[in-house]
Amino acid sequence: MTILSLILALALEQLRPISNRNPAYLAFIRLANRLKRALNAGEYRNGIYGWLVAVLPLLAIAVGVYFLLAHFNPVIGFAWSVLVLYLTMGFRQFSSAFSGISRALQAEDLPTARALLAEWTGQHASEMNEDEVSRVAVEQGLIDSYRYVFGTLFWFVALAWLAGPAGAVLYRASSLLAQKWGAYSDTEPFGRFALAVQEALDYLPVRLTAASFAVMGDFEDAVYCWRSQARAWGNYAHGILLATGAGAIGIRLGEALHQDHTVKFRPELGIGDAVTPDYLASAVGLIWRSVLLWVAIVLLFNAARWLA
């Protein structure tokens, strides 16, 4: 049933993509903001309480409804798992923005590409040239592909046998809280627990995703970049994904950006060519091949269980 859930959720997401501005996401973000205002008293333990209040009820609902429905009819329980995975996964949430930027750059419409990139990433892009827009788009695409697809899929599959769709709910809720509460963790202890949980949840799937990039791209360069360059990036997990992805595609990420009337210097990741608009399609291809690899592995795992 797990492999069928993955395939159906991916198909639904392609046919009818869910915006990250959908009511369910917005309601959770409002809850996160409300909890922070109510519980943030400047202590680390307040962040623990807030995380538990935000996440545990969602897990209880996801698991409770799954087992209740499955008790009456396994097919309805299966449909619930597909629905939850569909709501928590978001391949098109980043691929649509990525495709829009690619089309704008192919049409030599740099202002539109800059506007789309700024809306997608939240970064100032008005001073970036064509290659810088392409480079940042590939970086954000690789990170978002992990955040919206690979991380969610990993935890869905890992916990599906025990708690239905709970893994997907756990990962997406934790990821959103880490993004909302962890931005100021250097000065506010409230978000540190959310970041710690997210780091723990990311440890294995980040490395499996990077390994998938290596297998489906230039393996030797991807592994070399992972081992020699990833730690230079500020966020090590992101550094693993970006360095491996850059090596797998054969491009250079990171490097300098023109932003806020200055040049921001960043570590160089990858070896090969400078990123041009033509490489955006290569990045999408790498992500799709890696998704199909994961689906094939889950299929083989399920087939082995059925044969056993």
Place of tokens 């970086």: 139
Whether residue 1 is predicted with pLDDT greater than 70 in this model: the reply is: no
Q: What integer pLDDT is reported at residue 212 of this predicted model? A: 97
pLDDT band at 185 (very low <50, low <70, confident <90, very high): low
Place of tokens 């970049």: 225
Q: Which residue has the tokens 């393996």?
A: 219
Q: What is the mean pLDDT of the chain?
A: 89
Average pLDDT estimate for 152-169: 91
Q: How far does Cα 97 stand from its chain's mean position?
A: 14
More confident position, 23 or 35 = 35
Q: Does residue 69 have a pLDDT over 90?
A: yes
Cβ–Cβ contacts within 10 Å for residue 138, how many? 26
What mean pLDDT is predicted for residues 170-180? 93
What pLDDT was estimated at residue 18?
75
Share of the chain above pLDDT 90, in %: 54
216-275 pLDDT per residue, tens: 999 999 999 999 999 999 899 999 999 999 999 999 998 888 888 888 889 999 998 888
Q: Which residues pair with 257 in a beta bridge?
A: 264
How many of the other CB atoms lie within 10 Å of CB of 134?
A: 25
Q: Phi and psi at residue 233, in whole multiples of 5°?
A: -75, 145
d(CA 96, CA 87): 17
Residues in the chain: 308
Tell me, what's the pLDDT at 9? 86
Confidence of residue 167 (pLDDT cuts 50, 70, 90): very high
pLDDT at 3: 77
* For residue 308, pLDDT beyond 70: no
CB 212 within 8 A of CB 189: no
Does the pLDDT value for residue 202 go beyond 90?
A: yes
Q: Which of 26-40, 206-220, 244-258 has the highest mean predicted lDDT (pLDDT)?
A: 206-220
Q: Which helix (H) or strand (E) holds 27?
A: helix 23-39
Angle of CA points 135, 236, 261, to nearest 5°: 45
In which band, very low, low, confident or very high, does the pLDDT at 20 lie, cut at 50, 70 and 90? low
pLDDT value at 304 more than 70: yes
pTM confidence score: 0.92
Report whether pLDDT(112) > 80: yes
What is the pLDDT, as a whole number, of residue 63? 94
Q: How confident is the model at residue 126 (pLDDT cuts 50, 70, 90)?
A: confident
Distance CA 277, CA 269 (A): 18
Return the closest-CA partner of residue 40 out of 52, 49, 28.
Answer: 49
In contact, 145 and 87? CB cutoff 8 Å: no
Q: How far apart are CA 249 and CA 219, in angstroms?
A: 10
User: Hey, what amino acid is at 195?
Assistant: L
What does the pLDDT read at residue 141? Answer: 92
